[in-house]
Amino acid sequence: MKRRDFLKAGTVAAGAAAITAASNLPKPAIAQDRIEMNIVSTWPRDFPGLGTGAQRFAQRVQDISDGRIQVQYFAAGERVGAFDAFDEVASGNAQAYHGADYYWKGRHPGWAYYTAVPFGLTYVEMNAWIRFMGGQELWDELGAEFGIKGLPCGSTGVQMGGWFNKEINSADDLKGLKMRMPGLGGDVLAKLGASPVSLPGGQIYENLVSGSIDATEWVGPWNDYAMKLYEAAKYYYYPGYHEPGSMLAVGMNKSWWEGLSANDQMLIESAATVENDVMMSEFNANNGAYLRKLIQEQGVQVRKFNDDVYDAFGEASAEVFEEARAHSDLANRIHESFLAARADVGGWMNLADAAYTQQRNRVLGV
């Protein structure tokens, strides 16, 4: 007999006792074994890759659970603003958010490492660190300070360097620029004399068109085309030093998470793992085609940051990292673990993926 049938078959007295007991159960337990999961997001609804990926995750959780986990998804601004998602979940007003954890670096610099940091980890390297090299355990320790349980739930891969209305031929060309760039990447810009601005995705276009900001980074060709950033800036620079493998997260209220059964935790984790792979695959499938559209249809000029500019990014990044790791013992341990993963996995990648790609391009004349 199913549990819900058993409960219905009880006496009135037993039903009253069950109601009393249910009121003392953890938050996930609600009427008829249904679990409420409200997800607030930092992305616009239906936004390619980011928004659609978050929506896919929400739908997948509900579908896999056969509707037992009742998921309601709220895009940025539908329930709370993009940058209010963290507080909404930490307070228990919502059960989960989907977003980029570097938005919360003002609370603790450790959060930045769980999206992307300058000269950091690629998608492949990040997955290795999170799953097998201590990254998740440190993330759990960080999240516990704020009542959050985080899991990987998407990635954009390596991002572009940004949209500019002038050429960037030296670090001096960055001075005085008001540029949208969150995370530690924005701190690097500040070291070089620029003024970093943190804006959610839904506010970038209007601020760039109006001149409130001079330049912006967003994601890559697929997203940037959808945002129509080509209407407001002429030069599209690569590669992005600031986000080499941006990981997105589902952050859940820790008490709510701990009140779930082991099976339901596994269900949500599995749904997040699937989306982590699907989103990355979707970005890779679309970025090449949309890069061609930007160049051929919109006349965008794609430029590569020269070595001098990249060296300046590197020197400023070293200063930013020293400041970040000095914040606390936990920040330092996250940083050290991150560096160890970069050295180990990155060293292997140099002999594997990078070496193969270099030779493939040489042989094929790419």
- Token digits for 100? 């980029």
305 in Cβ contact with 192 (< 8 Å): no
How far apart, in whole angstroms, are the C-alpha atoms of residue 126 and residue 155? 10
- Type of residue numbered 235: Y
SS3 content of the chain, % helix, strand, coil (to 5): 55, 15, 30
- Name the residue with tokens 């980029």: 100
How far apart, in whole angstroms, are the C-alpha atoms of residue 253 and residue 175? 41
Torsion of CA 237, 243, 245, 247, to 10 degrees: -130
159 in Cβ contact with 243 (< 8 Å): yes
Q: Is 218 annotated as a binding residue?
A: yes
Helices (H), the chain: 3-8, 12-22, 50-64, 85-90, 123-132, 135-144, 183-191, 204-210, 221-227, 254-258, 262-296, 307-325, 329-351, 353-364
Could you tell me whether strands 235-238 and 301-304 are parallel, antiparallel, or unpaired per DSSP bridges?
Answer: parallel
DSSP letter at 203 equals G
What are the Cα distances from residue 230, in Å, to 205, 217, 233, 294?
10, 12, 5, 7
Q: Is 217 annotated as a binding residue?
A: yes
Give the number of residues written for the chain. Answer: 366
How far apart, in whole angstroms, are the C-alpha atoms of residue 162 and residue 214? 11
DSSP letter at 117 equals -
How far apart, in whole angstroms, are the C-alpha atoms of residue 196 and residue 188? 9
Beta bridge partners of 180: 197, 216
Binding residues are 159, 180, 217-218, 243
Binding residues for Na(+) are 218
Binding residues for substrate are 159, 180, 217, 243
